[in-house]
C-alpha cells in the first residue's frame, strides 16, 4: 500500500502541475491541441511511475488527420492515461460533468475543448451531444466510453445510446478501441495500483453514413459486437 500511496501522491502533484500549465496554454491555443499534448505528457508520467507498459496495435487502420468518434471499453481509471498517452491523435473527451467541477483540473479540461455531459439531466446531455457533433463536423475527433462507467468484473457492459446519436448526426465514422489489461492494475472497487502490461487495439472504422437516429441501435450493436469479439479473442 505504500507504493500505491506514493503513486497517488504523484498523480495529485502532477495533475495540479500539468493542469496549471494547461490552463496557461489554453490562452494561446484556441484549438486545444496544445493542451491535449500536455495531457498526453501527464498521462505518460502516471503510467511510467506506476510501471504500466502499453502496446498499441492497429494504428494503420486510422488516418491521423481525419475526424472520428473513438469508442473504447472501460475497465479502470487507467484507461484514461492509456488513451491520452498512447493514442497518437488529437481528440476531445466527452466526459461526465462531475469531472469539470474539480478545481484547476476542470478548468484545464475546458481549456482543452473537452465536452461535459450531465448524465442526470437528459436535456443538458443532448445539448452536449449536439455540441460534440458540431465539433466533429469542424474536423475534431471525440473519445467516449459507450458503457458510461467502468466495468466491475471486466465484462463489457451494455452501451448507452447518446454517443451513437452524436455519431449519426455528425456522419463521422466510429473507431472501436479495445483495451486489455487495465482491470488488474486498478479495479473499480479498489484503490490499490499494481504493475502491469496493457494492450490497446484500434479496429477498422465503421461508417455511420447509412445509419440514422431511428437505426442507431443497429449501429450500437455492430460496434459493441466488434469490441466484444476482439476483447474476448485475446482471453
Q: In this prediction, what percent of the chain has a pLDDT beyond 70? A: 89
Residue 126: predicted pLDDT = 64
Residue 135: predicted pLDDT = 67
122 pLDDT band (50/70/90 cuts)?
low
Residue 108: predicted pLDDT = 72
Number of domains in the chain: 1
State phi, psi for 223 to the nearest 5 degrees.
-65, -45
| Coil, strand or helix at 25 | helix
Instruction: Write the pLDDT tens digit of every residue in 56-84.
Output: 999 999 998 888 999 999 999 999 999 99
Contact (Cβ atoms closer than 8 angstroms) between residue 172 and residue 68: yes
Expressed as residue numbers, the domain containing 226 is 2-233
Instruction: Write the pLDDT tens digit of every residue in 148-182.
Output: 888 888 889 999 888 898 889 888 899 999 999 99
Residue 111: predicted pLDDT = 67
- Give the domain CATH number at 154: 3.40.1130.10
- What's the rounded Cα separation, in Å, for the pair 179 and 175? 13
The closest alpha carbon to 91, from 21, 40, 50, belongs to 40
- Rounded to an integer, the average pLDDT of 106-131 is 69
Which set of grid coordinates corresponds to residue 102?
474539480
Residue 202: predicted pLDDT = 97
Residue 234: predicted pLDDT = 64
Neighbouring C-alpha atoms within 13 Å toward the C-beta of 204: 2
Q: Answer yes or no: pTM beyond 0.85.
A: yes
Amino acid at each position: 500500500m505504500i507504493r500505491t500511496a506514493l503513486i497517488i501522491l504523484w498523480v495529485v502533484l502532477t495533475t495540479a502541475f500539468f493542469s496549471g500549465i494547461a490552463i496557461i496554454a489554453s490562452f494561446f491555443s484556441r484549438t486545444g491541441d496544445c493542451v491535449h499534448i500536455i495531457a498526453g505528457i501527464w498521462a505518460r508520467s502516471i503510467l511510467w511511475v506506476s510501471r504500466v507498459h502499453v502496446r498499441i496495435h492497429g494504428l494503420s487502420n486510422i488516418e491521423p488527420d481525419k475526424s472520428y468518434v473513438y469508442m473504447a471499453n472501460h475497465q479502470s481509471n487507467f484507461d484514461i492515461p492509456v488513451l491520452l498517452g498512447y493514442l497518437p491523435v488529437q481528440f476531445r473527451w466527452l466526459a461526465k460533468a462531475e469531472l469539470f467541477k474539480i478545481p484547476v483540473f476542470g478548468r484545464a479540461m475546458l481549456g482543452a475543448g473537452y465536452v461535459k455531459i450531465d448524465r442526470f439531466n437528459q436535456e443538458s446531455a443532448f445539448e452536449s451531444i449536439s455540441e460534440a457533433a458540431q465539433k466533429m463536423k469542424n474536423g475534431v475527433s471525440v473519445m467516449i466510453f459507450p458503457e458510461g462507467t467502468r466495468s466491475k468484473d471486466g465484462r463489457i457492459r451494455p452501451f448507452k445510446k447518446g454517443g451513437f446519436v452524436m455519431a449519426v448526426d455528425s456522419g463521422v465514422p466510429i473507431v472501436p478501441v479495445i483495451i486489455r489489461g487495465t482491470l488488474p492494475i486498478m479495479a473499480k472497487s479498489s484503490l490499490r495500483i499494481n504493475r502491469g502490461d496493457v494492450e490497446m487495439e484500434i479496429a477498422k472504422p465503421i461508417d455511420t453514413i447509412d445509419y440514422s437516429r431511428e437505426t442507431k441501435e443497429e449501429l450500437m450493436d455492430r460496434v459493441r459486437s466488434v469490441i466484444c469479439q476482439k476483447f474476448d479473442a485475446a482471453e
